[in-house]
Amino acid sequence: MTREVSRRAVLGGLASAMIAPSAFAQSALAPTTSLRPAARAENILKTYQPPLSELIEQARLAGQISVQVADVKSGLVLESHNPLRALPPASVAKALTACYALDVLGPGYHFETRVLATAPVTNGRIDGDLILAGGGDPTLDTDGIATITKRLREEAGVTEVTGRFLVWAGALPSLIGIDSEQPDQVGYNPGISGLNLNFNRVHFEWQRAGDGYNVTMDARSATLRPDVRAARMRVEPRNHPIYTYKDGGVFDDWTVARGALGRNGARWLPVRKPALYAAEVFQIFARSNGIVLKAPELIDTLPQGTTHVLTHESAPLRVVLRDMLKYSTNITAECVGMTATTARTGRFDTLKASADAMNAWAKERLGMSSVALEDHSGLGDDSRVSARDMVKALIAARKSMGIKPLLKEHPLRDEDRRIIEDHPLSVHAKTGTLNFVSGLGGFIDLPDGTELAFACFSADLPRRDALTRDQREDPPGGQAYAIAARKLQQRLLARWGILYNG
């Protein structure tokens, strides 16, 4: 009995923000007639819920909204609003990419970065070329490069290389960015290749020095921060644009407006030539281990008859995907998606071709009918998924691919966006946010043991399309739209916790 009362009390608190004000006013009046025995608390709360359409109308979100919730065990659709309306999923697409990679590559898959040579190691010496060969690892960082070069000296015994330093990044197509419509300077839209480093971002830092600025560009990680030349920055006497970028051949050529810098600061900038960036850092740490390498040279194909020197492995794929879903790293989604496509269909040339392969897989394996993604991360706003398709996919993946444990626990919040501690609902979901686009999809565990799958997508595409390229980093009204969309998502979660529990 004690447990039941406690649960009712918690559910009552859950619903308090959603009960109509008139209900409180009426409860204060003395009854004029005898009342029937009170109904169960849960049933009373259910009667106070407004129709779904009214809840969506109250959100006052311009544009389109697509919502669906279903019972995982039976697949029964419990509630929906425009469920067939296909909208941009934003980063909710990463949940589909994770399923794709799990199914095609397996949860224990490791990305490999190899060091090869065209001659054997003899008395510490390689009388031939040394080759750094990427395997598409999106998680390789400067600490990892330092570990590889240390092993090159201590485990492989290399002390000298007489030939060239070759770099192969052909495990994946080389891209200068994920989405061409993004501003040049946003770190979440980097170049991608088969050899990546630090999520293909370079750390730009500035400090005022007299009448000018000292600037650094480094490849920092948890413990190291080597300066690099693969990306160069010049401070120029202007106020706008804040940043400019051009291809400098073997390096990324950046400028920044002096009027926008202030006294000091820092930010991550995208790297457009990731293989050369990684090669430079490798060369730096090889030298610190006494191995002097020539300037790196990119090659399109690996030489025949190479000697294996050492292999560096990433964490297992399930760990890579868990972190991708937690931190929503775009480069991770694109690398794992393209690696899965390579394993499933063979060579391809464009990111769109890889996304098309994943769309075909999703229709075959997850029962989706109209999924149309243009990438694996959800960054491109031409991608489309409906709430019905997403819920269908989540239920299928929950049963066969084990996606749920990899999804981040999603906190429940009150109307002031404060986290509600010890909430009776448990939600594991993936969020998605673009300018004037918001999404949430995942699973809800109710107190009575019921498990639901849900998806909610909203988008004001005319307003998004009206933005200039420069406005896309921080557009007027963008934050207000995102807050309103998240509040609607929280109200939907609260509603479903009340209506479908018990």
- Cα–Cα distance for residue pair 178/189, rounded to 1 Å: 6
Give alpha helix (H) positions in 69-188: 93-105, 142-154
- Cα–Cα distance for residue pair 426/446, rounded to 1 Å: 7
| pLDDT confidence tier of residue 219, bands split at 50, 70 and 90 | very high
Q: What mean pLDDT, rounded, does the chain reach?
A: 92
b/e per residue 487-498 (b: at least 16 CB within 10 A): bbbbbbbbbbbb
| pLDDT confidence tier of residue 43, bands split at 50, 70 and 90 | confident
Convert the pLDDT of each residue in 60-71 to its tens digit: 999 999 999 999
- Note the pTM of the prediction, 2 decimals: 0.91
- Cα–Cα distance for residue pair 39/36, rounded to 1 Å: 9
| pLDDT confidence tier of residue 469, bands split at 50, 70 and 90 | confident
pLDDT at residue 5 tops 70: no
Q: How far is CA 277 from CA 28, 195, 230, 252, 300, in A?
A: 70, 9, 5, 10, 17
pLDDT at residue 10 tops 70: no
Mean pLDDT for the stretch of residues 16-45: 44
Lowest mean pLDDT across 15-29, 96-110, 356-370, 405-419? 15-29
For residue 261, the one-letter residue type is L
| pLDDT confidence tier of residue 431, bands split at 50, 70 and 90 | very high
3-state secondary structure (DSSP) of residue 431 = strand
Query: In this predicted model, which residue has the larger pLDDT, 378 or 473?
Result: 378
Residue 355 · residue 149 · CB < 8 Å: no
| pLDDT confidence tier of residue 470, bands split at 50, 70 and 90 | confident
- Cα–Cα distance for residue pair 498/502, rounded to 1 Å: 9
Looking at residue 9, its pLDDT comes to 40
Mean pLDDT for the stretch of residues 252-256: 98
pLDDT at residue 245 tops 50: yes
Mean pLDDT for the stretch of residues 71-94: 98
Convert the pLDDT of each residue in 271-327 to its tens digit: 999 999 999 999 999 999 999 999 999 999 999 999 999 999 999 999 999 999 999
Residue 60 · residue 49 · CB < 8 Å: no
Lowest mean pLDDT across 9-13, 300-304, 474-478? 9-13
pLDDT at residue 440 tops 80: yes
pLDDT at residue 390 tops 70: yes
Identify the residue whose tokens are 């404060």: 418
Query: In this predicted model, which residue has the larger pLDDT, 468 or 341?
Result: 341
Mean pLDDT for the stretch of residues 364-372: 97
Number of H helices, E strands in the chain: 13, 21
3-state secondary structure (DSSP) of residue 208 = strand
pLDDT at residue 246 tops 90: yes
- 462 upstream amide cis, omega within 30 of 0: no
Mean pLDDT for the stretch of residues 413-430: 91
Looking at residue 41, its pLDDT comes to 55
Convert the pLDDT of each residue in 138-186 to its tens digit: 999 999 999 999 999 999 999 999 999 999 999 999 999 999 999 999 9
- In what side-by-side order are the strands of the sheet with 77-81? 77-81, 64-71, 451-459, 437-445, 426-434
Convert the pLDDT of each residue in 451-467 to its tens digit: 999 999 999 999 999 99
Looking at residue 42, its pLDDT comes to 57
Lowest mean pLDDT across 9-23, 190-204, 298-312? 9-23
| pLDDT confidence tier of residue 262, bands split at 50, 70 and 90 | very high
Identify the residue whose tokens are 């066969």: 400
Six-digit token string for 326: 């937690």
| pLDDT confidence tier of residue 416, bands split at 50, 70 and 90 | confident
For residue 52, the one-letter residue type is L
- Structural domains of the chain in order of their starting residue, each with its CATH number: 2-44 (no CATH), 49-107+316-499 (3.40.710.10), 111-314 (3.50.80.20)
For residue 310, what is the DSSP state?
A: E
